[in-house]
Each structure stands twice: as C-alpha cells, then as structure tokens.
Amino acid sequence: GAVVSQHPSWVICKSGTSVKIECRSLDFQATTMFWYRQFPKQSLMLMATSNEGSKATYEQGVEKDKFLINHASLTLSTLTVTSAHPEDSSFYICSASFPRAGYNEQFFGPGTRLTVL
Amino acid sequence: AQRVTQPEKLLSVFKGAPVELKCNYSYSGSPELFWYVQYSRQRLQLLLRHISRESIKGFTADLNKGETSFHLKKPFAQEEDSAMYYCALSGRGGGNKLTFGTGTQLKVEL
C-alpha cells in the first residue's frame, strides 16, 4: 500500500515551452503532497508543499509563477514548469503524506527527469 | 534554519564489517530525525525514524541531542545494504517538511 506514481518518468522539451508533471497517490488519499528537486549528486531540495484545495506554500527562493502547483484532488497534484529553460533541467520528485504509525509519513514517487534543450 | 550534514559521500566496507553512516543536524527546537534509503533504480523509502526506536534490516540510529547527531549503524554489513542513504530532519510544527542531507553512498564489497 501507499504507492505514489509520477508521470512522465522523463521528458525532453525545448526552451520556452511548459511542462506538466503529475503526481498521484494510487491507493490512498493524500491531503498533503510535497515537490522536491534534485540536481545530480546533490540532495533533495523541497520546493513546495501542496495541500488539497488550497494554494501551495513555496520554499524561499522558489518562483511560484515559474513552478505552478495544483492540488485539485486528494490523489493528484501537478507541477507545471512554465517557460522552461536549460537551468530548469533536473530530477523532480513528489511525495504524498499518509498517516502511519502515529505520524504523517511521506511516500515518494519515482521521480521525473526533465531535460530542457 | 535547519540543516542536515552527512560528511561522507561514499562509504565502502567489506561484507560482515560494521557500518556507521554519520549524520549531524542543526535545529533550534526538538527535531524529528529520519533515515531514508534509495536502492539502485528504486524510489526513496523510509528506513527508520528516531521516535520509533526500532531496528530495521539490522540498522539502528540513536538521537544524541548533546552531539546533535543521528548516526546510522549496523553491526554486520550485507551486500544488499549497498544503497544511497539520506538523513532527514523534520521540525516540530513544520507541517512534516523534510530537510535532507546530501546523502552517503554505501558500498558493501565481498
């Protein structure tokens, strides 16, 4: 149980285009989802916290107009990278929060590799 | 500000040898500490958390508030332990947000 999927698993796009990444909790409802970014050989950096039905909370330094997050249902959150540029190329990982053993454990998706040409 | 430091990028040990993956943290309040593991070609998954005080796959970790450390230990390394290990911190009342360390690649050699 507690499986999180991401789609697509990888995407290549041209500079200036927008890319949407989906994060789904397959067998549970998640009131909170998180979006992370990971550069090669570096750690996961939290970008934003997404709560169902409300605006996402962005971490300092993350442009909310560039990284649009929508959490329209309890099982789906989307991250749209608008007007992507090569520096946005990265590995994007989502997680969904689910109560387990007395606390809200985060279950991670497999990640999406974005390459902007 | 909260910070997690994992000083070793790579740790190589022989099978059967003890393992200690170091993690130090900086946080002004009472943190929750976690160890996550990522096996080759798999997603990140929780290994253990300090509050549960349990041993998972032979691994244990004790929170030392005096030294602000949460080192991960296993007495006898197994080949299947080879993976990337991340230490993470969640501040109380922080909405379960996680701050990750840079990770340590554990390689268990035969």
Alpha-carbon radius of gyration of chain A: 14
CA quadruple B71, B73, B77, B78: dihedral sign: negative
Q: Residues A25-46: what's their mean pLDDT?
A: 90
| A47 shares contact with chain B (CB less than 8 Å) | no
CA distance B62 to chain A (A): 19
Inter-chain contact B98–A101, Cβ cutoff 8 Å? no
Inter-chain contact A110–B43, Cβ cutoff 8 Å? yes
Q: Residues B67-94: what's their mean pLDDT?
A: 91
Q: What are B18-62's pLDDT values in tens digits?
A: 999 999 999 988 888 999 999 998 999 999 988 887 888 999 998
Distances (CA, A) of A85 to A35, A39, A115, B40: 19, 15, 9, 29
CA distance B30 to B91: 7
Percentage of chain B modeled with pLDDT above 90: 74
Asked if A104 contacts A98 with a C-beta cutoff of 8 angstroms, the reply is: yes
pLDDT at A105 over 90: no
Average pLDDT along chain B: 92
Q: Which residue has the higher pLDDT, B63 or A42?
A: B63
- Tell me the helix, strand and coil percentages in chain B, rounded to 5: 5, 50, 50
Q: What are A42-71's pLDDT values in tens digits?
A: 889 999 999 888 889 999 999 999 999 998
Three-state DSSP at B80 gives: helix
| A25 shares contact with chain B (CB less than 8 Å) | no
Percentage of chain B modeled with pLDDT above 70: 96
Inter-chain contact A43–B96, Cβ cutoff 8 Å? no
Confidence of residue B92 (pLDDT cuts 50, 70, 90): low
Q: Residues A94-114: what's their mean pLDDT?
A: 88
pLDDT for A103: 75
pLDDT at B96 over 80: no
| B86 shares contact with chain A (CB less than 8 Å) | yes
User: Would you list the DSSP string of A74-99?
Assistant: TTEEEEEE-S--GGG-EEEEEEEEEE
In chain A, which residues have their Cβ closer than 8 Å to the Cβ of B48? none
Confidence of residue B94 (pLDDT cuts 50, 70, 90): low
Inter-chain contact B97–A103, Cβ cutoff 8 Å? no
Percentage of chain A modeled with pLDDT above 70: 99
Q: What are A6-24's pLDDT values in tens digits?
A: 999 999 999 999 999 999 9
Confidence of residue A2 (pLDDT cuts 50, 70, 90): confident
Inter-chain contact B97–A46, Cβ cutoff 8 Å? yes
